[in-house]
A and B are shown apart, each in its own frame.
Chain A
Amino acid sequence: MELVQMQKNLQDYTKSLFLEGILDSQFLQLQQLQDESNPDFVSQVVSLFFQDSDRILNDLSLSLDQQVVDFKKVDPHVHQLKGSSSSIGAQRVKNACVVFRSFCEQQNVEGCHRCLQQVKQEYYLVKNRLETLFKLEQQIVASGGMIPAMELGF
C-alpha cells in the first residue's frame, strides 16, 4: 500500500474515534506533547494506562464479588480510573466511571455490577481501537513515512 494511502487511512481512522466519542480532545493534547525527541510518548502513556486499568478492573471485580461490598474500597478505584481515562482522552470510559461513582455513592451493589460491565466494555473498546491506531502508525513509520498531524476540521 502506498504511504499516502496509509497516512489517509490513519487520519480517517483517528477521526472516526473522535466522531464515535471514543476519544476526546484530551487525546489531541497528548499528541501535542510528542515530538522527535520522544516519538513514543503517546504510546508509552497509553501503555501505562492499559497496565494501570487492567489492575484496577481486576481489583474492582474482586471488591464487588465480596459477600459484603466495601464501597470505601470500590470508589477510590473508580475515581482513579476516571482520572486516568480522562487524562488520556478515553471519553466513554470516563463517562462510564462517572455513572459508576453515583451508584457507589448510593451503595447500590446491583447497579455497581452493571456499571463495572459497562466500564469494562468501553475500556476494551478503546484499548482495541488504540492498539489498531498504533499499529497503523507503526506501519507508516516502518515504510519510512511521517505520522500526519491530526486535522482539527471537524
Chain B
Amino acid sequence: MINSGSCSSLMEVDYDDDHSHEELHVLAVDDNLIDRKLVEKLLKISSCKVTTAENAIRALEYLDALTNNDLKVNLIITDYCMPGMTGFELLKKVKESSYLKEVPVVIMSSENIPTRVNKCLASGAQMFMQKPLKLSDVEKLINVIS
C-alpha cells in the first residue's frame, strides 16, 4: 500500500455524512449559560444538530475550523448583546466572508428596539427574534430555513 506524501489522516475529523434526514447544523452563540442551554434544546427538539459557542470569537474560530474542512453550518443564531464582539459584529463578519455570506444569520435579543432590528436586517440578518425564545418561534424558523 502506497501512502500519499502528506500524512493528513491524523487530522481527519469524522463528520456524520448521513444526510438522509437533512438535519440542519446550527451554530448557536450566546454568552448566557442558561440561554445557551435553552436554545440548544429548542433546536434539538426541532431536529437540528447543534453546536454552541459562548462568544463571537469562539464562534468565528469554529466556523474557520469547519471552513478548513470545506464544511459550513446551515444556520447561525446569535444573541445581540454580548461582551467583546457583539452579535451584530458577528453578523457583519459572516456577511463579509465570501465563503460564509450565504449562511443565514438570525439575531436574538430581549430588547425589541426598532433601530436595532432594522440595523440587523439591513446588514443581512435573516430574522430578528425576541427573547425569551418560544418553541413555536424556533420551529417556524427551522421550517423557513429548511
Q: Which residues of A contact B110 (CB under 8 A)?
A: 82-83, 86
Type the 1/0 row for A129-146, where 1 means its CB is closer than 8 Å to any CB of B.
Answer: 000000000000000000
Q: Which residues of A contact B54 (CB under 8 A)?
A: none
Q: Which residues of B contact A41 (CB under 8 A)?
A: 41
What are 20 inter-chain pairs, A to B, with CB distance below 8 A? A29-B132, A29-B134, A29-B135, A33-B38, A33-B41, A33-B42, A33-B45, A44-B37, A45-B34, A45-B38, A48-B34, A49-B34, A52-B33, A79-B81, A83-B32, A84-B33, A84-B34, A84-B35, A87-B34, A87-B131
- Whether B5 sits at the interface, judged by CB under 8 Å, is no
Secondary structure at the A interface, as helix, strand, loop or mixed, is helix
CA distance A25 to B143 in the complex (A): 24
- Whether A26 sits at the interface, judged by CB under 8 Å, is yes
Contact of B38 among A76, A80, A87 (CB under 8 A): A87
- Whether A95 sits at the interface, judged by CB under 8 Å, is no
Contact of B35 among A29, A30, A87 (CB under 8 A): A87
A→B interface (CB under 8 Å) = 26, 29-30, 32-33, 41, 44-45, 48-49, 52, 76, 79-80, 82-84, 86-89
Q: Which residues of A contact B134 (CB under 8 A)?
A: 29
CB contact under 8 A between A84 and B32, given known A33-B45, A45-B38: yes
Chain A, residue nearest B39 (CB)? A87
For the A-B complex with A45-B38, A88-B34 known, give 14 more contacts whose Cβ atoms are closer than 8 Å.
A32-B135, A45-B37, A48-B33, A48-B37, A52-B33, A79-B81, A80-B31, A84-B32, A84-B34, A84-B35, A86-B110, A86-B131, A87-B132, A89-B132
Question: How far is the CB of B116 from the nearest CB of chain A, in Å?
Answer: 15
Question: How far is the CB of A70 from the nearest CB of chain B, in Å?
Answer: 15
B→A interface (CB under 8 Å) = 31-35, 37-38, 41-42, 45, 81, 83, 110, 131-132, 134-135
CA distance A41 to B135 in the complex (A): 15
Contact of A33 among B31, B32, B135 (CB under 8 A): B135
CA distance A27 to B28 in the complex (A): 21
A26 engages B34 (CB within 8 Å): no
